[in-house]
Amino acid sequence: MSNLVVVGFEKDRFRAAEALNKMRQLDFSWTGQLEDAVAVHRGFGGELIVDQTYELTTGEGAGWGAIWGSMIGLVAGIFTGGATLPAAAAVAAAAAVGGATVGATIGGIGAKWWKEEFGVSNDFIRHAGELLQPGDSAIFAVLTGVADNFQKVFEDFGGKVLMTSLSDEQKEKIENVLNQARRSN
């Protein structure tokens, strides 16, 4: 089973990056399967900063950059009332993931894709936005398999977990984006 997960860390801009490092250790020891993740924090002025990402190949990184950039942009748009931050977040996340500028344009991914084509609920997006207020940090991740090991890490770090299961159709849509990115390189 795959899950889309957002973990919020209130009033701690660096906690998400620390938890992501621990998640990497779990993934490499085969106690869980981390497909991809990005740690971000929101500055006290509302700016969104991508702290770190999971390491992937360039083509795959571009695909994940598009996926995370659009998701973070959508969530950030809730906080800013839809100002220009979503576009900036998409570009920043795409570049940070290692896919360079390709990530922002692959598959025409944007906020509309998450809501209308991918089927992420408005409630999930709204709750994710609530987890990322000024001074907070968050992890956005796709986990495959049993998420219990990762759940423990999130709890140990004091994170608030928001999780939704991905259908086979949704997993296929993610894979299509990643395949398109691989072919672009």
- 22 DSSP assignment: H
Q: What is the pLDDT of residue 55?
A: 58
Q: What is the pLDDT of residue 29?
A: 60
Domain boundaries, position 110: 2-184
Alpha carbon of 168 to those of 44, 45, 74, 138, 165: distances in Å? 38, 39, 23, 26, 10
Q: Provide the number of structural domains found in the chain.
A: 1
H or E element in which residue 92 lies: helix 85-96
DSSP codes, 36-91: EEEEEEE-TTS-EEEEEE----HHHHHHHHHHHHHHHHHHHHHHHTS-SHHHHHHH
Alpha carbon of 38 to those of 21, 66, 83, 116: distances in Å? 11, 12, 22, 23
User: Tokens 């296929």 appear where?
Assistant: 172
Q: What is the pLDDT of residue 54?
A: 64
Q: What is the pLDDT of residue 158?
A: 92
Digit-by-digit pLDDT tens for the chain (185 residues) are: 788 889 999 999 999 999 888 877 776 565 567 788 889 999 988 888 888 766 555 666 777 777 777 788 777 765 444 443 444 444 444 444 444 333 344 444 566 667 777 778 888 888 988 899 999 999 998 887 766 767 777 888 899 999 888 888 888 888 888 788 777 76
List residues bridging with 49 in a β-sheet. 41
pTM, whole model, 2 decimals?
0.77
